[in-house]
Structure 1
Amino acid sequence: MAITVIRELDESPSDGLGQGEMLSVKAVHAVPDDTDGHPGEETLCGKPTADMERLRYQPASADTSWLPPGMIPLKCRWCTDALQPLYASDPH
């Protein structure tokens, strides 16, 4: 199964210094691709993808983690569990 890796953004309130809203990454999810290679409308954990941001990371193979380097602490536990049979080397 081909997947697209996306991140769920968390909007923080303004800091009061006119800086506006700060965006941070809340979680990293996996989305199954459709037959045309486009990401689906829901993550593997069932969240809608409309407000999420696509990452330019593509797992090279089943021996490669589905997560981009440095984003392991932000992984979605449910997406990771769904991918476990396909990406067995994934850190849990």
Structure 2
Amino acid sequence: MAIRVLRELGKKQSEDFGPGDAVPHIEAVHAAPADPDVAEDPEDRTFCGKQTQDMERVNYQPSDPGAPWLPPDMGEWECRTCAAALRSQ
């Protein structure tokens, strides 16, 4: 099964620079099934059930079926629910 990796972004005020615009930060990294009609796109919901439309796609594809589903440098933001769903596939 092909998957798409997505970043759920949030915004928070910078603590270092005083008042100003909120800066984006990663809330979580999710996985979603690839859309069967447009393989580059995710389906409407992640494996944990969140809507994908406002998430940012990560340009990453596992190298083989046994490879980790998300980039190693994003492990601290892994959605555990998505990870558990992928393990049960």
**What TM-score results when the alignment is normalised by the length of structure 1?**
0.83
RMSD over aligned Cα atoms:
1.5
Q: Looking at secondary structure, tell me which structure has more helix per residue.
A: 2
Does residue 45 of structure 2 align to residue 50 of structure 1? no
Gaps of 5+ in 1: 87-92
CA distance in 1, matches of 2:35, 2:53: 15
- How many residues end up aligned between the 2 structures? 85
Shift of 1:53: 0.3
Does residue 13 of structure 2 align to residue 13 of structure 1? yes
Percent identity at matched positions?
47
CA distance in 1, matches of 2:67, 2:14: 38
CA distance in 1, matches of 2:25, 2:54: 13
Gaps of 5+ in 2: none
Match of 1:72?
75
**What TM-score results when the alignment is normalised by the length of structure 2?**
0.86
